Homo-oligomer: A and B are copies of this chain.
Amino acid sequence: MTDTLGDHDTREFHAILAALGEAWGRADGAGFAAAFTGDADFVNILGMAFRGRDAITAQHQQIFDTIYKGSLASFELVSSRKLADGVTLAHVAATLNAPGGPRPGITRTMATAVLVKADAAWRIAAFQNTVVVTPPV
Q: Tell me if A77 counts as interface (CB < 8 A to partner B).
A: no
Q: Tell me if A98 counts as interface (CB < 8 A to partner B).
A: no
CB distance from A86 to the nearest CB of B (A): 6
Q: How many residues of A contact B (CB 8 A)?
A: 38
- Identify which of B41, B78, B83 contacts A91 (C-beta below 8 A): B41
- Identify which of B41, B51, B85, B89 contacts A41 (C-beta below 8 A): B89
Bound Cα distance A91, B43 (Å): 9
Residues of A within 8 A of B (CB): 1, 39, 41, 43-49, 51, 78-79, 81, 83-87, 89, 91, 108-112, 114, 116, 125-133, 135
- A-B residue pairs in contact (CB < 8 Å), sample of 11: A1-B51, A39-B81, A41-B91, A43-B111, A46-B132, A47-B132, A47-B133, A48-B132, A83-B125, A84-B85, A84-B86
